[in-house]
Structure 1
Amino acid sequence: MTRYEIGKAKDKDLSASMEAMKRAAALARKAAMQTDTAIVVVKDKKLVRVTAEQLRNKSGA
């Protein structure tokens, strides 16, 4: 399913799942910055390691 299809789903849990994933990702980034650890994300279908320092620079923290 695409993001659009998930957002328009009739199942309330499924339609809310995209926002829940966004909140979880934000919490993971916050925890990584607090603990000075890296996270791994998918970018252009490739796994990319993002360090805590890179996260801080992106967020302006």
Structure 2
Amino acid sequence: MKRVIKMPKAMLPYAEWKKENHLALLEKCYETYGPRIDEYEDFVEAEYAKASKAHRIESDSPTP
């Protein structure tokens, strides 16, 4: 079963978000880079930036 990176309604601080999504992030990183674990921290930071940006866009858009 593939894990999904969770996107909370209120964006969590980086450390908390990373801890909550650790297994899904590790799995996705492995799919992307293979066994090169040295890429993990950069990968997690990039994923957090994407999640934060998506959260800001979602928060800024008006609700019908």
TM interval, shorter chain, is: 0.3 to 0.5
Which structure ranks higher in relative contact order (CA pairs < 8 Å, sequence separation ≥ 6)? 2
> TM-score, normalised on structure 2?
0.35
More strand by share: 1
Bigger CA radius of gyration: 1
Structure (1/2) with the larger helix percentage: 2
Q: TM-score, normalised by structure 1?
A: 0.37
